[in-house]
Amino acid sequence: MTKPIPDKAEVALEYPDKLYIGTFEHSSRFDAHLDETGISLSLYRTGEAEQRKSIRMHFHYGLFAEILRDLAKTVSLLPPADAQHRDALREAAKALYLALDDTLRPSEMTPDEEVLLTHLME
């Protein structure tokens, strides 16, 4: 199920003799989900045929876990004053953590945790 992109994504695919660059903004859509082997992410730009484009990426779980670790190491680059993005990232990471915690049953969640998990699963 695709959802509107809430912010913006930029994608560059570089070959020795070619460069493809695409942007995906509010009018674009995305889908992100887990499957048997990893993380699937798709971005779709809608509109007229000449404007339409899509990109699909798949990361195996080990690589995605390493990406998350590297992001954690560079979080200091996000200005402390940028509370909006810090809060959004923190809440999303918490929702993922809660969804992965198989020892935490929904009846043990706080109402806020239930809301986070519900948003993650949408």
The string of pLDDT tens digits covering residues 20-44 is 999 999 999 999 999 999 999 999 9
Tens digits of residue pLDDT in 89-112: 999 999 999 888 876 655 566 666
Distance CA 8, CA 47 (A): 17
Classify the C-alpha dihedral 76-81-82-87 as positive or negative: positive
Chain segment 69-88, per-residue pLDDT in tens? 999 999 989 888 888 999 99
Percentage, residues of the chain above pLDDT 90: 65
pLDDT at 114: 64
User: pTM for this one?
Assistant: 0.76
Q: Where are the domains of the chain?
A: 1-60, 74-122
The single-letter code of the amino acid at 36 is: E
